[in-house]
Amino acid sequence: MSFRRPGLLELHILRHHTTDGPRPMSSTSEHAVKEELRTKARQLSRNSTHTCRLCNKTFCSKASCVRHQKTHTGEKPFACEICQKPFADLASVKRHLRTHTGERPFKCLTCQSAFSDGSALRQHIRIHTGERPYKCDMCDKFFRERSDARKHMMSHTAEKRFKCSQCERRFRQPKGLRRHVKLCHTDKVENAAIS
């Protein structure tokens, strides 16, 4: 038996030649196979790290490190053929193209919801599983999404970066500032717009 890519050989070995015995394929769809390969690759690469030579941030994969390094240079050599929006890598262009085509190839097996990219599906699945992998560094709260954990961690800091232009009051998050303006300064904002 021959394999076109080393990853497919490794997947075959994992499925059919481990001490646990053969493992059934969870789904025969191309996306499920690719996702399983990516998951295994992430697991294997956790032991090796790739470091950004500009800021010393570490990454599990070389591709992630290379993609990150482009944030320092601002390099975006790939463009969407429909709207010309520039991107740092080809994978991002392909993902973006789905916003134009409406393609949603990533399906939830629990509720049949469909998504345009795999990361959105992974986040969605956490609703069903209850998984909350992101922990606040300051307390024992866990979150489904990294962005929610980051927002929450800001509540522990004394820094209030968002200032109200009407009364000088400060907020830790833009959401708090928007709520404040809506509740306290709606009349002033409307009157300012009229005059």
153: pLDDT confidence band, cut at 50, 70 and 90?
confident
Q: Of 152, 132, 151, which Cα lies nearest the Cα of 142?
A: 132
Question: Which of 52-56, 82-86, 104-108 has the least mean pLDDT?
Answer: 52-56
Angle, to 10 degrees, between the axis of helix 30-45 and the axis of helix 6-16?
90
| pLDDT of amino acid 111 | 94
Q: What is the mean pLDDT of the chain?
A: 79
Rounded to two decimals, the pTM is 0.49
pLDDT of residue 99: 92
Confidence of residue 143 (pLDDT cuts 50, 70, 90): very high
Q: What does the pLDDT average to over 101-119?
A: 93
Residue 72, helix vs strand vs coil: helix
Tokens of 151: 């927002």
**Strands, E assignment, 21-161:** 50-51, 58-59, 78-79, 86-87, 106-107, 114-115, 134-135, 142-143
Most confident of 43-57, 80-94, 150-164, 176-190: 80-94
Which of 23, 180, 31 shows the shortest CA–CA distance to 118? 31
Residue with tokens 């076109």: 4
Whether the predicted pLDDT of 18 surpasses 60: no
